[in-house]
Amino acid sequence: MARKTTYKIKQLKESGKKIVMLTAYDAPTASILSECGVDMILVGDSVGNALLGYESTIPVTLDDVIHHSAAVARAKPDSLIIGDMPFMSYKVSIEQALENCALMLQEGGAEAVKIEGASKRVVDIVRAVVDSGIPVMGHIGLTPQSIFQLGGYRVQGRTAELTEALVEQAKALEEAGAFSIVIELVPSETAKRITESIGIPTIGIGAGPHCDGQVLVLWDMLGLFEDFKPKFLKKYANIRTVIKEAVNEYSEEVRKGEFPDSEHSFEMSEEETGRLYGRTKPSRQRAS
């Protein structure tokens, strides 16, 4: 399958084809997503909640995302790899953003970066990063890195005014050169209005059916977590149950002495076994 590029992603919107994006944080899942024809792999800072045991994305560092992005890149997926810029790794100054986004490509093997927010400061940063030749995906609506400012994981853009404000943010990001925008946790009508107002693809999560594409956190849609059940999440598998069943069966077989059996063990030749236990004498070399 041909490698996906930001150009091809933009073409999908133009041709009216839906865009499929999922998160991945390691090589085996990245290669599975690629084999399934997933358009974009996001190495999200959601790695903090999904794999690293944090309660939010705030503690996730640039090194964390680079480490996981490099693993994804080693799988050489056809999907476009997007490295998520974590909390405060791009907002301090334009210089900081340029240096860190460059590291995401150079060390993380990403082909684009995702940047949260659309304040004037962030839009200027997006413009500078794009100007440096690094493709940027924007992220508006609920932006988890601003969770303390937003006061929790609440639906954004619930009114006409708030929707128009989000439309302005999306337009500013498009004008700054972003190649697509994630819209998180907004009413369907809000996402529709934004999607119709800009020429670049919108990728929804908790944003209803009218976006140009969809993203979910892989481990959420595979059902790794029992207690995480937001309204927008559809679980396509129950991987937690599958893992538990396998671990329970393994534990039982180990405890009963049924595993490992001869099928899964290596054997010594009869002669060597005999030598080991002193039943046969080792053959001697005759002196000449």
Q: Give residues in contact with ligand KIV (CB under 6 A).
A: 23, 42, 44-46, 84, 182, 184, 205, 215, 217
Of the two residues 46 and 190, which places its CB atom closer to ligand KIV in the complex?
A: 46
d(C-alpha 72, C-alpha 77), whole Å:
8
Report the residue number whose CB is nearest to ligand KIV. Answer: 44
CA distances to 51, 79, 188, 230, 235 from 226, rounded to whole Å, are: 14, 29, 26, 11, 10
The least CB distance from residue 262 to ligand KIV, in Å, is: 45
Of the two residues 116 and 174, which places its CB atom closer to ligand KIV in the complex?
A: 116
Catalytic residue among 184, 226, 258, 270: 184
d(C-alpha 221, C-alpha 228), whole Å:
10
Of the two residues 155 and 259, which places its CB atom closer to ligand KIV in the complex?
A: 155
Which region holds residue 37: left if phi is over 0, alpha if psi is between -120 and 50, else beta? left
Closest CA relative to residue 44, chosen from 20, 27, 71, 68: 68
Peptide bond into 201 cis (omega under 30): no
Q: Is 184 a catalytic residue?
A: yes
The least CB distance from residue 180 to ligand KIV, in Å, is: 11
The least CB distance from residue 85 to ligand KIV, in Å, is: 10
The least CB distance from residue 238 to ligand KIV, in Å, is: 21
Of the two residues 44 and 201, which places its CB atom closer to ligand KIV in the complex?
A: 44
The least CB distance from residue 3 to ligand KIV, in Å, is: 22
d(C-alpha 260, C-alpha 148), whole Å:
51
- The b-or-e profile of 44-70 (16+ CB within 10 A means b, else e) is bbbbbbbeeebebbbebebebbbebbb
In sequence order, the β-bridge partners of residue 202 are 181
d(C-alpha 117, C-alpha 63), whole Å:
21
Of the two residues 177 and 204, which places its CB atom closer to ligand KIV in the complex?
A: 204
Closest CA relative to residue 46, chosen from 19, 20, 72, 83: 83
Q: Report, as residue numbers or ranges, the catalytic residues.
A: 184
